[in-house]
Chains A and B, each alone.
Chain A
């Protein structure tokens, strides 16, 4: 691997962080019901992915997303995979990700997962493992996008020194997907508003794609057609909505009735085939932590191919055999509550007290479907600047796959690292920072 200690960019860590702060690159979280905005610390040492790894990941990710997309269409359609006994129906219909409202839906061009954020780690054994699929509203692409823009400005030299794939095409890829699935009319990005954790990203992507940034009250539906209110009191038709609010809040007449940030009847316009919603509502059925176990089986089932990417070794206590294994090897496992996201509900058995263990096992036996257990993947560290020196820190990779005519893997990604040297949880809502992700062009 290349030596990055001589990289000119290292001298610009402070400037980069100042610039990122100036551009409003922030991350918002709610703690005790109070909204806090915090900077997302940037580290100049990138994750570097060589050509061979990049080719492998591209093939594997495209394959995985195709299978996941096929699964979503199947579940809300014929449910063949259930009839054929590959995925047990309990995991689909008893989960919170499945939405009956979506039964029989036919999304424009058959695309459900337009933007997928697949979280991976590189194990110490040199193998990539998928930890999680995010098919609802995965965020984070804007951070490496703007970081690269600023890096090039701070240190153009660095980018002459190394042969790196340009990642500034994300907006063009995203706009390409919007235009491909659009029915008729303009594309918009629908934000829940200023007090959302990823508001910076919404406004940045709108600026870069040329799609209008709108909130719920800017849109309305008439005769199953979605319109945007124009400033002169008129209306223009909307053909594609990249929505950055969750299914629950999207449409008070179809989902949570108390949502004031959604658009009444937008889901009906979608069902009628008159607008594309990106990502399609109901995708949660495929990225539930319990369904994750079945993704390699989906690849074989729908594509008739061997899965290129592997999951971390996972056990479903729902199956008697797996429950036995989990109880026997409890201390070696990490347990995840399938209903939680963002690094919440993740418990490492070896950090529990005897009493906690007892309580947890009781809960596990009572609600086996609620949990998955995984062997802890010991993943590689990446050097991170600390004072004048370097320290190793655990880091994961969120790869982005954009699906229009076919799935395209973005030649970059969000690398998140832990600030705590002992932590394995790299989720940004749990603290930590980010790095650029370089894909070598040769």
Chain B
């Protein structure tokens, strides 16, 4: 059993109003993780309603009409994580198909193709991917070995090819590159946004479809995404897993700046 906490503070440098927001930060239970005792808070106090997206993620939504200068959210709870596999009993899990196709953020270029080749060479794999699990592990190693972890050098809209060409980035970039390589081989795989054990910001990794379920790989740390990884949401790429998306207006019509602070915590109970 673990306990987790995720906190995001948004501070605006002037008063805002007509603020609509969508949050994807409430973990759902699946065959790999059982989530209980969820506590979810939004400040300023405002009515919140819930829904879902096309990937089965939970969404919390709200609308703050009056002026305010911050939005703070906090979610915490307990979870039991079984391991790195999310089995999917459906024989024809239809949403798997669309995870095969590259998106804007996971399109391959020369740098990604070169990485695919070096991964295949390193594992002495031939053109066909062979065993998906072995291949995915091999790609994870190649991405981890090739990339240098460097915060602040890439942006949220940096795509896989740009990050691979630069050779540096953060967890999101590692995940995008791994997805781009796997999708070049037609292997269904998805982006995961979640929390890693310890303290820090949010984390990102990859899940790969292996016959009848998803298996998690964390290319940033070159480890399986297992009991140390709590899934918050998944999608084709980071764009589908935005933790916070909002639209709002400065009350005086002026130019608005916001500061975002994120902290997360995951520890064994």
Which residues on A are within 8 Å of B, measured CB to CB? 77-79, 82-83, 89, 93-94, 98, 100-105, 220-224, 252-254, 257, 264-265, 268, 271-272
Contacts and interface: CB of A to CB of B under 8 A. Distances in A.
Interface of B: 20-22, 47, 49, 51-56, 59, 61, 63, 92, 94-95, 97-98, 100-101, 235-236, 240, 245-247
Q: Kindly name the residue among B47, B92, B240 whose own CB sees the greatest number of chain A CB atoms within 10 A.
A: B92
A268 B92 CA distance: 26
A224 B51 contact: yes
Q: Kindly name the residue among A101, A104, A224 whose own CB sees the greatest number of chain B CB atoms within 10 A.
A: A104
B245 A253 contact: yes
B43 to A, nearest CB: 19
B75 to A, nearest CB: 19
Contacts of B97: 79, 82, 89, 93
Q: Kindly name the residue among A100, A103, A271 whose own CB sees the greatest number of chain B CB atoms within 10 A.
A: A100
Main secondary structure of the interface of A (DSSP, over half): loop
Contacts of A265: 20, 22, 61, 63
Contacts of A82: 97
Q: Kindly name the residue among A220, A221, A265 whose own CB sees the greatest number of chain B CB atoms within 10 A.
A: A265
Contacts of B20: 221, 252-253, 264-265
A252 B63 contact: no
A252 B247 contact: yes
Contacts of A93: 97-98, 100-101
Contacts of B51: 224, 268, 271-272
A422 to B, nearest CB: 40
A104 B54 contact: yes
Q: Which 7 A-B pairs have the closest CB atoms?
A: A103-B54, A264-B20, A79-B94, A223-B49, A268-B51, A100-B54, A93-B101
A8 B192 CA distance: 70
Contact of A103 (B47, B95, B100, B246): B95
A92 to B, nearest CB: 8
Contacts of B56: 104
Contacts of A94: 101
23 contacts: A78-B94, A98-B98, A100-B55, A100-B98, A100-B235, A103-B54, A103-B95, A103-B98, A105-B54, A220-B63, A223-B47, A223-B49, A224-B51, A253-B246, A254-B22, A264-B20, A265-B22, A265-B61, A265-B63, A268-B22, A271-B51, A271-B52, A272-B51
Given A102-B54, A222-B47, A268 B247 contact: no
A438 to B, nearest CB: 45
B99 to A, nearest CB: 9
Nearest to A74: B94
B247 A253 contact: yes
A101 B53 contact: yes
Nearest to A77: B94
Nearest to B99: A93
A103 B63 contact: no
Contacts of A78: 92, 94
Q: Kindly name the residue among B49, B63, B246 whose own CB sees the greatest number of chain A CB atoms within 10 A.
A: B49
A133 to B, nearest CB: 23
A102 B100 CA distance: 18
Given A223-B49, A272-B51, 16 more contacts: A77-B94, A79-B92, A89-B97, A93-B98, A93-B100, A100-B55, A103-B95, A222-B49, A224-B51, A252-B247, A253-B247, A254-B22, A257-B247, A264-B20, A264-B247, A265-B22
B54 A101 contact: yes
Nearest to B22: A253
B251 to A, nearest CB: 16
Contacts of A224: 49, 51, 61
A100 B55 CA distance: 8
Contacts of B55: 100, 103
Contacts of B54: 100-105
Contacts of A252: 20, 247
A129 to B, nearest CB: 32
B63 A221 contact: yes
Contacts of B245: 253, 257
A102 B235 CA distance: 13
A268 B57 CA distance: 13
B61 A268 contact: yes
A224 B59 CA distance: 12
Contacts of B235: 100
Contacts of A77: 94
Nearest to A83: B92
A220 B61 CA distance: 13
A78 B97 CA distance: 11
Contacts of A257: 245, 247
A100 B47 contact: no
Contacts of A98: 98
Contacts of B98: 93, 98, 100, 103
Contacts of B247: 252-253, 257, 264
A328 to B, nearest CB: 30
Nearest to B49: A223
B56 to A, nearest CB: 8
A268 B236 contact: no
Nearest to A89: B97
Nearest to B48: A223
B194 to A, nearest CB: 20
Contacts of A89: 97, 100
Contacts of B21: 253
A79 B94 CA distance: 7
Contacts of A102: 54
